Amino acid sequence: MGINFKALVVSKTEDVKYVREIKERSTDDLPEGDVLVKVNYSSLNYKDALSAIGSKGVTRNYPHTPGVDSSGIVEQSSSDNIKKGAEVIVHAYDLGVNTLGGFGQYIRVPAEWVIKLPQGLSQRESMIYGTAGFTAALCIYKLQQNGVTPNDGEILVTGATGGVGSTAVAMLAKIGYEVVASTGKKDQEQFLKDIGAKEVISREDSVDLSRPLLKGRWAGVVDAVGGDILTTAIHSTKQHGTVTCCGNVGGVELKTNVYPFILRGVNLLGVDSQNYPMDKRVAIWNKIADEWKLDNFELLCSEISLEQLSENIDLILEGKQKGRVLVNLWK
């Protein structure tokens, strides 16, 4: 006998519109899998919003419950490694993409997707980071792997008030980097300074397509935007600097040429959190829970209920969210 629970369900109507409703579902409706998790927290990512509007690049089959993030307690498990009652994080892979996701109070997933909650992090805190924070951490890890240290100079973070951007600003500042935040939200300069930015620049001033070698300023870049902002960031990166690229809210085209790479030795690193290998994924979560753990969590997030998700999905699609949106499934 299944357990009944609440979930955000996105359904496709006959005239191919996508409607969002909070519905009662049963754990019998969940896919096969090794581990049933009672989800306590999830979070809203840009990708969840795309899934909620029928974006084919994300989700193919409807009705669907989005939510690439979840933390909670194991309710049932057929895996020797994951015990009933364990506190866990499940994010990425196919969760919330084509597998019913964390915007429901229960999920059932393969054991390979499950991470034991790292010591030092609560379930709630883990979802303040969520996929956006994990991705920011992965960008920072890649900068460090490429030798970018706090002594090398300023780091540019683009889309700075967004989920990836704000957690990147806060984490970089926490571990000693000087952060310059690029934002389209003129009224959020103080927020960005409060979470650790040394300087805030406007979105307009972050675009200059005049030539491929602009004045070299950045030792490193965390880019969550793509398009002309990423192009300009590459062109403004110093000799041997490193640019990490993870997002496309501002466009998918890159209008550059080989000069930044062959004359300045600029490194352009791609970041994909969805299929990042599990052993390395756990190592990043351990950093998040320990030396990179933020002191200013609450500044970064707003907490909402399942019922408030739909309006927040509209806001993130318009680029109007600030920081992280934490979803309390039982609020």
Ligand X SMILES: NC(=O)c1ccc[n+]([C@@H]2O[C@H](COP(=O)([O-])OP(=O)(O)OC[C@H]3O[C@@H](n4cnc5c(N)ncnc54)[C@H](OP(=O)(O)O)[C@@H]3O)[C@@H](O)[C@H]2O)c1
Of 247, 285, 287, 309, which one interacts with ligand X (CB under 6 A)?
247
User: Which positions ≥6 away from 283 have C-beta within 8 Å?
Assistant: none
User: Closest approach of Cβ 276 to ligand X, in Å?
Assistant: 8
User: Which positions ≥6 away from 248 have C-beta within 8 Å?
Assistant: 225, 226, 227
89: contact with ligand X by CB under 6 A = no
The answer to whether 250 touches 226, Cβ cutoff 8 Å, is yes
224: contact with ligand X by CB under 6 A = yes
91: contact with ligand X by CB under 6 A = no
Which positions from 279 to 298 touch ligand X by CB under 6 A, shown as an x/- string? --------------------
248: contact with ligand X by CB under 6 A = yes
Of 47, 108, 264, 281, which one interacts with ligand X (CB under 6 A)?
47
User: Closest approach of Cβ 257 to ligand X, in Å?
Assistant: 22
302: contact with ligand X by CB under 6 A = no
160: contact with ligand X by CB under 6 A = yes
Distances (CA, A) of 272 to 74, 136, 138, 158, 279: 27, 11, 9, 17, 15
59: contact with ligand X by CB under 6 A = no
Give the DSSP H/E element, type plus range, for residue 143: helix 123-145
User: Closest approach of Cβ 78 to ligand X, in Å?
Assistant: 29
271: contact with ligand X by CB under 6 A = yes
User: d(Cα 108, Cα 37) in Å, to the nearest integer?
Assistant: 6
The answer to whether 238 touches 218, Cβ cutoff 8 Å, is yes
Of 159, 196, 241, 260, which one interacts with ligand X (CB under 6 A)?
159
234-239-240-244 Cα dihedral, nearest 10 degrees: -20
Query: Which residue has tokens 């993870």?
Result: 246
Q: Give the residues lining the site for ligand X (CB under 6 A).
A: 45-47, 131-132, 135, 159-165, 183-185, 203, 224-225, 229, 246-250, 271-274, 316, 319, 321
